Structure 1
């Protein structure tokens, strides 16, 4: 809190005046530029003295203030570690700056600051001192209310916020132990603790659905629609009106069907296929009809602003936070059977070799013939004379046509060299109070693959249309692996007697060929994992660099406008092209974008700058901002979903403390091994101290821990037997310990011996790993993405994967 009863301009504001003026200024000129009255000059003078002390400004020979040499100052975002220290992630993409626990007392995770480089720490990392907080990231904090000796505090749920928040006054009706939302009144400083007031009581920690209530607030996921959006939704019609059919192609006589999971609630795509003659050969006409959300959601209106703010629907077990109000997502824009619905159609002609010969887009009205499930369609395709087929006799030929076009598209996919990783997806089965009953692998049948290939074809056509008409849009891009990742991968492959061709620029085909080569090896899972980890994450961008994993020159999301904002943007662009116009999203609420760009999305801009990409200007600037915004919010949704799943898994396994399970090592780090338990599909950590009495060296190239004296190795995909030893709900962490020998190499039973202490590594290791749901190498937070790149939308709660 300021020691003055009036507001003093911040350091950043003062620096801005000096930068803008370009010449030294006296205190009167600075006060005038910042509208500081003469009776407030004492506070401004003290602020200037502090800035001079910290080396931000300096007086010239006449006493006027000027900017100091700024080469030793760095601006960026604070990334906090749960152990108390942190890092400043510079805006200019340079090396991270280490911040000690003392420095981190001034800030919270996510704050933007200016720091001065003060030297290096004992590990040789550049170290800094925070001189000014430019922007505070946390206005509200979720945590548990505690009373310590009569003092009310809130312990943040996000462990990266390493400080308790002092409650101002009384907590009201909130009780100790309850989860509350606290509004920040005073941010932390070097001299004082953060202070806030309780503004919402969420309930008891283990109330049904509490983990979701915490996650949406913890990650800032908008979960309530604005009053404006609600009012607009109530004014929408309940059914398609005659006026809505103007200038639309009538496809109501075409037996289009929706094919989704059993528990899907919104149906945004319908498909139909028939054989057609292409010259002397037979090809296919594939119709992919997508809900015409853009007909009802206009740029800049209340529903659009809320949708942009969310950017995506968020899927939790037993609950979905939709991008659009329910009247649209489950009503007007859901392609329910036996009712008229407005769509935007991709009507494509595909050759017998899987080549898209021609396509056209047009607005249409459809009348879905049936709402079908993957299980039902797979049963019909497997037995066209079976009971399932008997219930849908009129649709069986059309489903067979869909399967035939899938076969040719799949063949073309293999020929172009698209990468197809085989991974096991799971879904959570919850009981009536929202807790896990079991975790099951999701069975992926032929019907899933049929729909996926149809959606891929439509997305490719959408991207091609944007390219042909040179219309701006947000492509779904997937960059090739970085040189650093390729070097790590090749070092690993070399030790396995394998080689990935292509030098610094391997193709997707070369990846696919290597995957096919190793698929029958006993270490195939390990090799696939390493290949997957070498790849980048797919993002949205107006710069079309192609999609590496799918081996497409151009790819855009078009098929899910109910749950993805980029798809809605693509629809608007396509409609503009059809009318001979250009769509420029200038009338959207840019304040929504600015909020995102000032926080998590800034990291993407830094990554772009580091690789030499210039910031876009003019008409493309808004599209670049939209791409960054949507990509950041996609990750936000994934993080919130993972957090909820991790909490549920911890809650589920609390009843299994002391029980033993077999499992597979899924990740190896400097501080231990992560093990995925068989049948439960839950990961836990065997800490390095549980591995025995040896010193363990971490081999990054081989992804293994090796005992220095014994030669014992723990490597990814090794089989082990473990016991559940501890569960920490707050940290989302499950601790395990080895209890038996592992695999044929005879790994010893862990524990302490009479000779020495517990197992350890000679490398310094992070004292506290990340939660069990996200095993990654501990240590210094890194800029950019190191996540596996698989452009499959992991739709939870039974919604299917689509790209």
Structure 2
């Protein structure tokens, strides 16, 4: 039988009462206690029911209860029914999360808590746009057996501005979003079009969000012009994906108040590491230095110190600075430019571990065994003075090539750099033993001239120094996760789930087309992937295979519940090493400081539901940054390729469709399309299972991972698309042109005629298949 709310519940039994007392002079029941009581009652409770339940009669207490319930409703923890009763969300029937729109007008809800995605029909999506946070009611299953949802409430609208092309038809203006996940056009009334002209790229403010009966309505607030001009690629990409660029005045004012140097009182009570030769090792163009490292041998292995910028000392909860950092979620690193999470006076100045200046830091000190295992670790607050700012190339040249000039310049840290490489080799072996996946992915570097024009594109080189820093940071993050779990304090973990069965099956089919075999048990392990990685290490199509393997895996998330990290083969992992550029790291630093201060874990200012929401938001901003960076990079590559029209390149077939072949160019890592009408004079049959096109008359075959030579035919910078024409014959595995008997062997000896009933209008059938 459900409880009668008039029987009462003792507020003194609230497990988070101490935390509430620290925050408020006259505390009201915590969110956790309110949810617990609501679940125990097993029926909706109104605000009056809650007041009676807790015996609240004081006006201030009643107002506090009202505000708390409103905040819980705003955050999606509860919803109100038509009678004003509150109902718990995240139960069997009500789910909250973020919308991910699909190309067909439908969508999926990614739940805040771990669970199956919820299908949203095109009818439900009429009221929504990609990225909105909502609450849905589960109403059954769709035709694929997935949970299907019905919209209950919109918690947060994700799109206040939309960037796209302005068009007019029959006197009606509208903006077609450049972001392909925004499936609805934005209606622009005549008085709100501003200076926009038909076909121009614009930014429009959303005045009215979509509903079941009408599309969203907006007004043009900025005009980029007919085309994406040189130098504006990053501004456009940031605008398209809703990345804030300018800082509010209050944020800049707060950041300037700290000054340019660390005051002496701030150094008091910290461990003094200023005589320790800590060094930073980063990219040549880096300006924000999060981490510094030091290593010395011990009787049982090494002492490894990872010192991280103490951003939490400056960025405090409740400030405009913290609110803006949380909203941004992370810094976004574009080619030649950065949109920082924190103002530059902090990110490049007072927080950055610049050389030869005092800086506050959070320190992870680790004892590493000879086999690379983490034996012990401890955390403390410190003050440091970086002995040197090294680039990856510097560190590699000092240790491997013994460069005399660099060794003279950095003579004070030479042995410590050697020690770092020693511990790196042990950490690397330990990584291989546990079966972590080593995606040594190929990336390209874009070089610019003084005017910002793309000068060249070439593959990035990954040195041992890159891997050294990566392994040191991974170990510090492992130590952090252990520390958080040991003290049972709520925080954010970096969670990477194992791949799903359908993703594994798709990967298995793909690798079979390349002559390989993926051996995976019912419960896949990272070692399954690692073994395949070893087999493709020296193949010319390695980059393609690694890319498909990477896409087969689940995306990593930030969550307060630890689910381990599949890719790194770790049972617990938390980001600690980059608080200048990642907000989850800042949350983790606050949790560590809370423990170091001697406070109880249950008095930590963040409650679980707050961390769920923050984790989901930071996961979204992380993926948003990836998409924006990818768009900006592709625009720049297309601009470079616009000067290569008519030139020939070698590449690999990265995708096969019914309408043609996608080819990725060697070293440039840019994809273009060979339309099926540009292949040989033949009718090509598409085999979706075998990922191949086969000529009916000639038997010529184009399949996934084949080498091919192409000519650049057309480049559309605004659409970020390239068209290629094939040149000569397919290439062999090492880039050689196949001729004579080799061509006949690969074509399978098929000749004229083909199977009965396959002749017809070749061009017409191709167009229909597209």
Confirm or deny a common fold (TM above 0.5). Answer: yes
2:70 corresponds to: none
Match of 1:504 among 514, 522, 536: 522
Matched, 1:620 2:608: yes
Deviation track 1:141-197 (CA, whole Å, cap 9, x = no partner) reads: 223445668765544433544536334316445566654322234556788665432
Q: Judge conservation of contact 1:78–1:113 (CA < 8 Å) in 2.
A: no
Task: Confirm or deny that 1:322 pairs with 2:340.
Answer: yes
Aligned partner of 1:165 in structure 2 is 187
1:260 equivalent in structure 2: 282
Q: Alpha carbons of 1:585 and 1:377: their partners in 2 closer, same or farther (altered >3 Å)?
A: farther
Contact 1:323 1:563 in 2 (8 A): yes
Given that 1:324 and 1:563 are in contact with CA atoms closer than 8 Å, whether structure 2 keeps it comes out as yes
Q: Deviations over 1:481-505 (max 9, x none)?
A: 2122223334455677765455211
Partner of 2:333, secondary structure, is strand
Alignment gaps of 5+ in structure 2: 1-42, 47-93, 732-737, 748-757
Partner of 2:299: 277
8 Å Cα contact 2:200-2:224 kept in structure 1: yes
How well do the aligned residues superpose, as a CA RMSD in angstroms? 4.0
Q: Are residues 1:89 and 2:108 paired?
A: yes
Counterpart for residue 250 of structure 2? 228
2:164 paired with 1:143: yes
Q: Is the 8 A contact 1:166 1:193 kept in 2?
A: no
TM-score by length of structure 2 reads 0.76
Distance 1:78 1:332 in 2: 38
Question: Which of 693, 705, 708 matches 1:720?
Answer: 708
CA change 1:621–1:401 in 2 (3 A) is same
Paired position in structure 2 for 1:383: 401
Sort the Cα spacing of 1:75 and 1:334 in 2 relative to 1 into closer, same or farther, 3 A: closer
Alignment partner of 1:624: what SS? helix
**Which of 510, 516, 534 is matched with 2:552 structurally?**
534
With over 3 angstroms needed to count, the CA separation of the structure-2 counterparts of 1:717 and 1:343, relative to structure 1, is: same
Cα distance, 1:384–1:285 mapped onto 2, change above 3 Å: same
Partner SS for 1:739:
strand
Task: Note closer, same or farther for the CA distance 1:246–1:97 as it changes in structure 2 (3 Å cut).
Answer: closer
Matched, 1:413 2:401: no
For residue 528 of structure 1, report the CA deviation from its aligned partner. Answer: 4.1
- Mapped partners of 1:664, 1:371: distance in 2: 40
- In structure 2, the residue matched to 1:297 is 315
The 10-residue stretch of structure 1 (262-271 or 418-427) with the greater mean CA deviation from structure 2: 418-427
1:364-763 equivalence runs, <5 A: 364-384=382-402, 386-492=404-510, 500-501=518-519, 503-520=521-538, 527-582=545-600, 619-692=607-680, 693-700=682-689, 702-707=690-695, 711-743=699-731, 744=738, 746=743, 756-758=761-763
Paired position in structure 1 for 2:63: none
Matched-pair contact (CA < 8 Å) for 1:696–1:759: no
Q: Deviations over 1:23-81 (max 9, x none)?
A: xxxxxxxxxxxxxxxxxxxxxxxxxxxxxxxxxxxxxxxxxxxxxxxxxx999987666
Give the whole-Å Cα distance in 1 for the aligned partners of 2:663 and 2:240. 27
1:269 deviation in Å? 0.7
Distance change in 2, residues 1:107/1:726 (3 Å): farther
> Is residue 194–residue 221 contact of structure 2 (8 Å, CA) maintained in 1?
no
Is structure 2 residue 377 aligned with structure 1 residue 359? yes
Cα distance in 1, alignment partners of residues 149 and 306 from structure 2: 57
Q: Which residue of 1 aligns with 2:59?
A: none
**Does the aligned pair in 2 maintain the 1:257–1:369 contact within 8 Å?**
yes
Secondary structure at the aligned position of 1:353 is classed as coil
Provide the TM-score with structure 1 as the length reference: 0.73
How far residue 117 of structure 1 moved from its aligned partner, in angstroms, is 11
More displaced stretch, 329-338 vs 491-500: 491-500
Deviation at 1:307?
0.6
Q: Residue 344 in 1 paired to residue 349 in 2? A: no
Answering whether residue 228 of structure 2 is matched by residue 239 of structure 1, we say no
Describe the shift of the 1:117–1:448 C-alpha distance in structure 2 as closer, same or farther (beyond 3 A): closer
Structure 1: distance between partners of 2:281 and 2:165: 43
Counterpart of 2:241? 219
**Number of paired residues?**
655
| Partner SS, residue 412 of structure 2 | coil
Distance across 2 between alignment mates of 1:115 and 1:464: 37
- By relative contact order (CA 8 Å, sep 6+), the higher-ranking structure is 1
Asked if 1 retains the 8 angstrom alpha-carbon contact of 2:372 and 2:429, the reply is yes
Q: Distance in 1 between matches of 2:322 and 2:263?
A: 22
Are the structure 2 counterparts of residues 759 and 724 from structure 1 closer, same or farther at C-alpha, using a change threshold of 3 Å? farther
Q: Rate the CA distance shift 1:502–1:367 in 2: closer, same or farther, 3 A.
A: same
Q: 1:594 aligns to what? A: none
In the TM superposition, what is the alpha-carbon distance from 1:330 to its structure 2 partner? Answer: 0.6
Shift of 1:387: 2.1
Q: Using the TM superposition, name which of 431-440 and 183-192 deviates more.
A: 183-192
- What residue in structure 2 maps to residue 335 of structure 1? 353
User: Is contact 1:475–1:544 with CA below 8 Å preserved after alignment?
Assistant: yes
Distance in 2 of aligned mates of 1:196 and 1:523: 47
How far 1:669 sits from its partner (Å)?
A: 3.7
Would the aligned equivalents of 1:180 and 1:200 in 2 still touch at CA under 8 Å? yes
1:604 corresponds to: none
Q: 1:723–1:522: structure 2 CA closer, same or farther, 3 Å change rule?
A: closer
Preserved contact between residue 168 and residue 196 of structure 1 (Cα < 8 Å): no
Q: CA–CA distance in 1 between the matches of 2:303 and 2:707? A: 49
Q: Does the 8 Å CA contact 1:78/1:86 hold for their aligned counterparts?
A: no
Q: Deviations over 1:283-321 (max 9, x none)?
A: 111111100000111122111111111111001122111
Separation in 2 of the partners of 1:172 and 1:514? 56
Gaps of 5+ in 1: 1-18, 23-72, 589-618, 768-803
Distance 2:140 2:426 in 1: 62
* CA distance in 2 between partners of 1:410 and 1:186 (Å): 54
Asked whether 1:200 is paired with 2:222, we answer: yes
Q: CA deviation at 1:114?
A: 8.9
Instruction: Tell me by how many angstroms 1:226 deviates.
Output: 2.2
Superposed CA deviations along residues 84-133 of structure 1, whole A, max 9, x for unmatched, are: x5214367857746649xx9888765677999999999xx999x999999
Q: 1:738 to 1:469 in 2, by over 3 A?
A: same
Does the CA-based 8 Å contact 2:110-2:118 persist in structure 1?
Answer: no
